[in-house]
Structure 1
Amino acid sequence: MTFSDWIALGALTVSGLTFWQTRTALQKQNNLSDREIELIRIQLSKSYDEHAKSKKANVSARMFKIDKTTWRVRIFNSGQAEATNVRLLLDDQNQMVSTGMISGKFPMTKLESGQSVDINAIVHMQTPPKETLRIRWDDESGLNRENTTEITI
């Protein structure tokens, strides 16, 4: 082998190493691009979920004891949006809350996020240990959204 053959072999080796290095770098870059695309998709879905959540009110109820004989039902909005036209729907079986007690407070024109309203509850010896309340409201996400809640003594 002559000197020029050695130089050509060295150039071919350097060229091969450069080709291999470029190929592995491109593969790593493609893998990174795939990860970036997946990360962007996840961030977009989170953003859409947060936006949808910010338009929803979550109206619920719970019963609590003030003192030895006084009970109240608290209707509250734990969602991020304002609830409008909040209605408390009672069935014929309901004994804890009378329609006379709620007629002055419901339907409420609006119940803001974090706001609540208390209603006196009637608890006596024949009161069932749990009852079902249906709460219906409107918000930015839709009309006549409903939550059925069991309140317990």
Structure 2
Amino acid sequence: MMPVTIDAGDVIAGLAFLLSGYATWQTVSFNKKQKSFVESQEKLNNLLLEKENEVAVKEKSADLGASFIKLGSSKYRLKIWNKGSATARNVRIEFPEGNDVVIDLEISDKFPMESFERHQSVELIAAVHMQTKRKHVVRLIWEDDAEVHNEKLSYPTL
């Protein structure tokens, strides 16, 4: 067997090898962290884009609703309003479960509405009597800059 001799060059080479291994491990570790950071940044950017798109769509959207309002002791109106950011066009109203409260002439005189501005409302005379059901279903249909066909069910109560 040959005696093994270690000189200063071998020690330096060993240290260089260990240092190189440590540097490689640090680089791999850093790259993992960098990749995680890039993925987080990408997710954040996607969320911001989604939010911006939602805001843009909301700005182009009308939002219609309906409720009954009482005037005096026995007079009622069905109030239709637009609380959205955009103008609704070609607004129509339907009563899927039948209409026994709003006068037909009121509907045919006022609907379809060509244009229904933001914060605009219209009131329809309601004929309320003892046999009138208390809850009604109103389907509101319209167009706006966000969608060609919008539809919303509203459940106004007396």
Fold match, TM over 0.5? yes
Write out per-residue CA displacement over residues 57-105 of structure 1, whole angstroms, 9 at most, x where no aligned residue.
2222111223322222110112222101222335794222102234443
The residue type paired with residue 10 of structure 1 is L
Q: State the Cα distance separating 1:24 from its structure 2 match.
A: 0.6
Identity of matched residues, %? 34
Q: State the Cα distance separating 1:27 from its structure 2 match.
A: 1.1
1:97 is matched with 102
CA distance, structure 2, for counterparts of residue 30 and residue 90 of structure 1: 56
1:19 is matched with 24
Picking from 112, 135, 153, the partner of 2:140 is 135
Question: Within the alignment, does 1:31 sit opposite 2:36 as a pair?
Answer: yes
| C-alpha spacing 1:90/1:24, structure 2 compared with 1 (3 Å) | closer
CA distance, structure 2, for counterparts of residue 103 and residue 32 of structure 1: 60
Higher gyration radius (CA): 2
> Structure 2: any 5+ residue segments left out of the alignment?
1-5
Q: State the Cα distance separating 1:143 from its structure 2 match.
A: 3.6
When the two structures are superposed, what TM-score results if normalisation uses the length of structure 1? Answer: 0.83
CA distance, structure 2, for counterparts of residue 148 and residue 23 of structure 1: 57
CA distance, structure 2, for counterparts of residue 8 and residue 146 of structure 1: 77
Question: Within the alignment, does 1:71 sit opposite 2:79 as a pair?
Answer: no
CA distance, structure 1, for counterparts of residue 95 and residue 42 of structure 2: 50
When the two structures are superposed, what TM-score results if normalisation uses the length of structure 2? Answer: 0.80
- With 106-115 and 71-80 compared, the bigger mean Cα shift is at 106-115
- RMSD over equivalenced CA pairs, Å: 2.3
CA distance, structure 2, for counterparts of residue 141 and residue 39 of structure 1: 25
The residue type paired with residue 30 of structure 1 is K
> Structure 1: any 5+ residue segments left out of the alignment?
none
